[in-house]
Structures are given as C-alpha cells and as structure tokens.
C-alpha cells in the first residue's frame, strides 16, 4: 500500500516552488533594470561643425605649437628666428606677435588652441563652413599665413590696427603721423581712418579662455584674447593702395572704394 503524503508536507513543497519562481522573476527584473539604465551612446558631432570639447581632447604635436610665452621671454632662439623670418616679407615686427599656418597651434599663458579651430569658428560665424565642407570647397591651405596679436593691458582695437599700419608704411619708407587717423577740421575721416574702420571687417578677436569669437570689438581683456589677421587679405588690401591717393579713399560702412588707377 502506498504511503499517504500528509497535507502539511504537500503544502511545504508548494511553498518552496513558489519561492523559487519568485526569486527567478526578481532576478529577471533586476537584470532588465540594469540593461535599461545603461548610459546612452554619446551624440555624435555633426560633420563639418567644430567642437571645442573634441578639440581639447585631441593631442597636439609639440613641434606644431608656437609658444608665445617663450617668444616673450626670449628663451627659444630658434622659434624667435622663425617668427622674424615669417614677419620680414610683411614689414611688421612688433604689431604682430606670431605668424602661423592653419595646421599649427598657439600657446598663450596656459591656453593652447589650434589655429584651425579658430578658423573653423570664423567660417561658421560667417555661414561658410557647411557650404565649404559639404560642397567640397577648399578651406584654408597649408601655405596661408595668419598673424596673431596678443592683447596687452590698455590696448584697444583701433590702436592695434594703427600700430600695424604704422609699421607697414614705415617698412616702405613712409612715416605716418601719430594723428594720421584723426578726422579733419570739418569732422571728415582721413584716408587712414577709413582704412582702419574697414580693417575691422578683416580681423577677428578670439577669447582663449572661453574658446569663442568675440562680437564686441571694444571689450578686450589682457592676455585672454588675441586678434587674428588673415595676412593675405590685409596686406593684399594695403598693397593695392597708393599712399599718395590715400585721402581719396571712400568708405560707405561696408565697402572701401579705392581711387581709379591713373592712365
């Protein structure tokens, strides 16, 4: 005769199965929760748009860094000689601190930034970067030169431009009067003043600490901002002006009108 299973034993086995099933369900729930809480994949940067974060993480070869600190202290003679050689064709010495190519980086204080990153910001600000990158149009070339002036205490953008203009014309044997940029007795701008006003469209001020372009030319903080010149554009303009005709220049707020060449 088969032994009878007591109701108490049967109930104990049932409870054990229920407990095991509950544990399995709980473990499955915990596993699903862990999967769902995994961080999402970082959003990819759109093609053609610069990213300050990505720019900071990318290693910069030391031989591509032009260190303003060493230039100012005179501790790197090879770098000093290189800058003098690059400045010579433009006739500038003190108005521009650095001349760099788009594939180089500059260091001021503790801040190091790729010049290409600045140029991309400029192109983006001018609405050119998407058109250039997507249409395959060329950006800055390796042979292009860009002048960097590190802003010093007490400087303003007008004086910075005037210093460069004074050096340029001095190199050509023309001594600019310290008052050459001032209006005449009737309040009309001089030819030099018009060149300086127009030149504001040819340069860009970059904030090294914020990693952004500045829109207010009047707000310049010492050693935290730089003025960037496209040497080809600026000196191409100056070379097209015959100084004896400088007072015949016209400026309408956007376009600089040069006197027609005499036949």
Please give the pLDDT value at position 132.
Answer: 47
Please give the pLDDT value at position 13.
Answer: 53
Query: Under a CB-based contact definition with an 8 Å cutoff, are residues 171 and 243 in contact?
Result: no
Strand pairing class (256-257; 212-213): unpaired
Please give the pLDDT value at position 43.
Answer: 47
To 10 degrees, what angle do helices 191-199 and 157-171 make? 120
Q: Tell me how far apart the alpha carbons of residues 193 and 152 are, in angstroms, rounded to a whole number.
A: 22
Q: Where are the beta strands (DSSP E) in the chain?
A: 65-67, 98-100, 105-108, 111-114, 146-150, 203-207, 212-213, 225-230, 250-251, 256-257
pLDDT band at 116 (very low <50, low <70, confident <90, very high): very high
Query: Under a CB-based contact definition with an 8 Å cutoff, are residues 246 and 177 in contact?
Result: no
Q: Which two tokens stand for residue 222?
A: 């010492």
Strand pairing class (111-114; 105-108): antiparallel
Please give the pLDDT value at position 33.
Answer: 61
Q: Tell me how far apart the alpha carbons of residues 100 and 198 are, in angstroms, rounded to a whole number.
A: 23
In this predicted model, what pLDDT tens digit does every residue of 24-57 receive, in sequence order? 666 676 666 665 565 555 444 444 444 444 455 5
Q: Which two tokens stand for residue 113?
A: 């930034």
pLDDT band at 156 (very low <50, low <70, confident <90, very high): confident
Please give the pLDDT value at position 47.
Answer: 44
| Nearest by Cα to 70 from 59, 60, 82 | 82
Q: Is the dihedral of CA 147, 152, 155, 157 positive or negative?
A: positive
Least-confidence region, from 1-5, 92-96, 108-112, 157-161: 1-5
In this predicted model, what pLDDT tens digit does every residue of 177-188 receive, in sequence order? 988 989 888 788
Please give the pLDDT value at position 26.
Answer: 65
Q: Tell me how far apart the alpha carbons of residues 217 and 172 are, in angstroms, rounded to a whole number.
A: 29
Please give the pLDDT value at position 23.
Answer: 66
Average pLDDT over residues 197-210: 88
Given 3-state DSSP classes, what are the helix, strand and coil percentages for the chain, each rounded to the nearest 5? Answer: 45, 15, 40
Query: Under a CB-based contact definition with an 8 Å cutoff, are residues 115 and 100 in contact?
Result: yes
Give CA separation, 9 vs 12, 16, 18, 113, 167, in Å. 5, 11, 15, 78, 105
Please give the pLDDT value at position 72.
Answer: 94
Residues ≥6 apart with Cβ < 8 Å to 46 = none
- Range ranked top by mean pLDDT from 164-173, 219-228, 251-260: 164-173
Please give the pLDDT value at position 53.
Answer: 45
Share the mean pLDDT of the chain. 79
| Nearest by Cα to 97 from 152, 31, 147, 163 | 147
Average pLDDT over residues 61-67: 86
Q: Give Cα 43 to chain centroid, integer Å.
A: 23
Give CA separation, 171 vs 82, 165, 236, in Å. 19, 10, 15
């Amino acid at each position: 005769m088969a032994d009878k299973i007591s109701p108490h034993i049967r109930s104990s086995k049932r409870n054990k199965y229920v407990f095991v099933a509950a544990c399995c369900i709980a473990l499955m729930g915990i596993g699903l929760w862990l999967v769902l809480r995994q961080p999402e994949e970082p959003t990819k940067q759109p093609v053609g748009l610069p990213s300050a974060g990505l720019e900071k993480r990318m290693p910069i070869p030391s031989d591509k860094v032009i260190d303003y600190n060493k230039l100012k202290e005179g501790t790197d003679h090879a770098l000093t000689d290189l800058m003098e050689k690059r400045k010579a064709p433009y006739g500038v010495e003190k108005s521009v601190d650095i001349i760099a190519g788009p594939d180089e980086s500059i260091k001021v204080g503790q801040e190091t930034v790729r010049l290409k990153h600045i140029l991309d910001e400029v192109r983006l600000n001018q609405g050119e970067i998407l058109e250039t990158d997507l249409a395959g149009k060329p950006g800055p070339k390796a042979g292009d030169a860009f002048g960097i002036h590190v802003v010093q205490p007490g400087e303003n953008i007008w004086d910075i431009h005037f210093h460069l203009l004074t050096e340029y014309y001095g190199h050509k044997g023309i001594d600019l009067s310290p008052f050459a940029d001032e209006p005449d007795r009737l309040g009309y701008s001089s030819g030099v003043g018009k060149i300086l006003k127009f030149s504001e469209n040819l340069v860009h001020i970059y904030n090294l600490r914020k990693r952004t372009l500045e829109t207010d030319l009047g707000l310049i903080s010492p050693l935290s901002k730089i003025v960037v010149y496209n040497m080809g554009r600026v000196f191409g303009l100056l070379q097209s002006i015959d100084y004896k005709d400088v007072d015949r220049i016209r400026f309408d707020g956007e376009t600089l009108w040069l006197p027609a060449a005499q036949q």
